[in-house]
A and B are shown apart, each in its own frame.
Chain A
């Protein structure tokens, strides 16, 4: 035992800050929120145990919960493929060997660094304003753009566009993945007369599958958690007509606007379960479409 401590102490000491942070700042609130999700709690009086009351209400009577789910799913289904496609397209361009590639990598990554900030969300609101840059650009080519952000039909697309613009981090991962595909596979395909598109679908995509899978899972989780851009652009309400009522926006409002902390906790746990189900499904199906180079047989 003494030897074990002596040998491993440095490791645990290095781990300590994280452990302290996890137990004090994360694990506590996590467990507390689980407990609170079974209570009615307005942050003023003590929480009152109501069993599965919050969950029952959520699934049977709360129409805004279903609306928030619908908006969020809609967004996930649009934004994740859009962002991944954008990221892959840019990564493939960069992989073709541009000069000063390091600079471009940094520049292309910039939107992702900025994208999460409040300022960019505000900027985005102005871009997609009825008289914003986007519509002015469209006007040049003779298209009369809609009032993107006040029209419930189109508001989500402004957010999808923002998501696409933040392609940086999956792009870097794609780029690394593309770099890992041996050049001579393409040369062999070239000599065999394989058209570019078939090279892409039959060589690039299958060999990139592990990376696509990784990006897909990560970006989907990310998309489910989208908050600040939706919150800012919809002025914190999810308007117009709840078309931007993202799950997290709804959750935030329940918690900090209406002080239904117990209900908000229940919402948070349901989101966690949804994400867990998605991730598990992705992992379970991955063996049918993800090829790993060093897979055991």
Chain B
């Protein structure tokens, strides 16, 4: 097992720089998920760690050993590919054993490891089959098995579940999580699916355009997104973003959001007059809240455990509102909606998170 240290890592193809100044510490035994929209550089970063892409700038160290110039095979890691990359002409058993045979490992040891991996992944009945005789989920298991048998210090996963159907993806997600719990090996996992990231990660790295937007636990990312991008990327259904104009009234900031009555803001220690206020769909309520407005329902999506209401405000902006269980509403209906200030996330004109100062009253009460 090993941790990983990235220092000022950059990547360019000729004159085209796609990544620069990346710093990241991946702890020993951590399940780290790299997430971001397509083209953000997450797969490239993984391939740089794997040794499949050159590191143009900075250093990557596994444990305390810089591996920039170490070939992939010497980095003691395994990788699971999106396409599974199984050898189509070999049986499952041979696919599992192939990587071990490179190291002239004794036959008995190869067999032991292959049998062990097959048992963990429950693919024993498939050992004599070829990849084309396997379903997507089975192929995925074999691909993971091929990574396990190496007993690596580090597992790399490159969007391993994206070729599976939705049901299987949920199942494999749980299996991967339990595999991680069992092996406790450091894992780096690339996905564009924030649900995968949220459910499996010890920590998540949100990447955009070759830069790290935020690193944190799933809960930190959800409850305290550091910028608008992370706020919008993490959480499903997507967070509502409301443009606010701030003016001072009697020395206190007051916000105006189109469609809502003006309301006093907590102290945000900013001089920006244009802020973005975000509120999660679950924190918007029908008919209650400190700040109230009215909207017309455009669409009702019943999901069983919750119902999503698409509500158009007077400004024309459509906000998402989620109600637990079934909701007695239909499209075209006008309803009052509201939210509490405590549920708001504040972002300045550059999209950076603003932390409201703690309210003064409780302190006054103690005084």
Query: Contact string, A152-193, partner B, CB cutoff 8 A, digits 1/0?
Result: 000000000000000000000000000000101101111111
Query: Contact string, B124-152, partner A, CB cutoff 8 A, digits 1/0?
Result: 00000000110000000000001000100
When distances are taken between beta carbons in the complex, the residues of chain A under 8 Å from B89 are: 206-207, 209, 291
Listed by A's residue number, 22 A-B pairs whose Cβ atoms lie within 8 Å are: A182-B83, A182-B85, A184-B81, A185-B85, A185-B87, A190-B72, A191-B50, A191-B51, A191-B73, A191-B77, A191-B79, A192-B98, A192-B99, A192-B146, A193-B102, A194-B73, A195-B102, A203-B87, A207-B89, A209-B89, A291-B89, A293-B132
Q: Check B85–A194 contact: CB distance below 8 A.
A: no
In the complex, which of the residues A184, A187, A193 contacts B74, with contact meaning CB atoms closer than 8 Å? A193
Q: Check B83–A192 contact: CB distance below 8 A.
A: no
B88 interfacial contact with A, CB 8 Å: yes
A56 interfacial contact with B, CB 8 Å: no
* Cα–Cα distance between A188 and B78 once the two chains are bound (Å): 9
A285 interfacial contact with B, CB 8 Å: no
When distances are taken between beta carbons in the complex, the residues of chain A under 8 Å from B51 are: 190-191
CB proximity of B209 to chain A, nearest CB, Å: 25
* Cα–Cα distance between A294 and B52 once the two chains are bound (Å): 29
List B residues 256-304 near A (Cβ within 8 Å).
none
**Contacts A190-B72, A191-B50, A191-B73: A198 and B85 contacting too (C-beta < 8 A)?**
no
Question: Top 4 A-B pairs ranked by shortest CB distance?
Answer: A193-B73, A192-B99, A184-B85, A291-B89
**Nearest CB to that of B149 among chain A residues?**
A192
List B residues 99-118 near A (Cβ within 8 Å).
99, 102-103
**Contacts A182-B83, A187-B52: A202 and B98 contacting too (C-beta < 8 A)?**
yes
**Contacts A206-B89, A291-B88: A194 and B83 contacting too (C-beta < 8 A)?**
no
Q: Check B102–A194 contact: CB distance below 8 A.
A: yes
In the complex, which of the residues B81, B88, B103, B146 contacts A187, with contact meaning CB atoms closer than 8 Å? B81
Q: Check B72–A194 contact: CB distance below 8 A.
A: no
Q: Check A207–B88 contact: CB distance below 8 A.
A: yes
**Nearest CB to that of A186 among chain B residues?**
B85
Max count, chain A CB within 10 A of own CB: residue among B73, B77, B103, B150:
B73
For the residues of A in contact with B, the DSSP-based class is helix
* Cα–Cα distance between A220 and B89 once the two chains are bound (Å): 26
Q: Which B residues are within 8 Å of any A CB, using their own CB?
A: 50-52, 71-75, 77-79, 81, 83, 85, 87-89, 98-99, 102-103, 132-133, 146, 150
Max count, chain B CB within 10 A of own CB: residue among A191, A193, A293:
A191
When distances are taken between beta carbons in the complex, the residues of chain A under 8 Å from B146 are: 188, 192
**Nearest CB to that of A207 among chain B residues?**
B89
When distances are taken between beta carbons in the complex, the residues of chain B under 8 Å from A189 are: 98-99
* Cα–Cα distance between A202 and B78 once the two chains are bound (Å): 20
When distances are taken between beta carbons in the complex, the residues of chain A under 8 Å from B83 are: 182, 184
When distances are taken between beta carbons in the complex, the residues of chain A under 8 Å from B79 are: 187-188, 191
* Cα–Cα distance between A259 and B146 once the two chains are bound (Å): 69
**Nearest CB to that of A192 among chain B residues?**
B99
In the complex, which of the residues B52, B88, B132, B133 contacts A191, with contact meaning CB atoms closer than 8 Å? B52
* Cα–Cα distance between A53 and B81 once the two chains are bound (Å): 67
Q: Check A190–B132 contact: CB distance below 8 A.
A: no
* Cα–Cα distance between A20 and B114 once the two chains are bound (Å): 63
Q: Check B85–A187 contact: CB distance below 8 A.
A: yes
**Nearest CB to that of A295 among chain B residues?**
B132
Q: Check B99–A194 contact: CB distance below 8 A.
A: yes
CB proximity of A184 to chain B, nearest CB, Å: 4
When distances are taken between beta carbons in the complex, the residues of chain B under 8 Å from A193 are: 72-74, 99, 102-103
* Cα–Cα distance between A192 and B150 once the two chains are bound (Å): 8
* Cα–Cα distance between A213 and B103 once the two chains are bound (Å): 31
* Cα–Cα distance between A202 and B50 once the two chains are bound (Å): 22
When distances are taken between beta carbons in the complex, the residues of chain B under 8 Å from A202 are: 87, 98
In the complex, which of the residues B52, B73, B88, B133 contacts A192, with contact meaning CB atoms closer than 8 Å? B73
When distances are taken between beta carbons in the complex, the residues of chain A under 8 Å from B85 are: 182, 184-185, 187-188
* Cα–Cα distance between A182 and B50 once the two chains are bound (Å): 18
* Cα–Cα distance between A190 and B156 once the two chains are bound (Å): 14
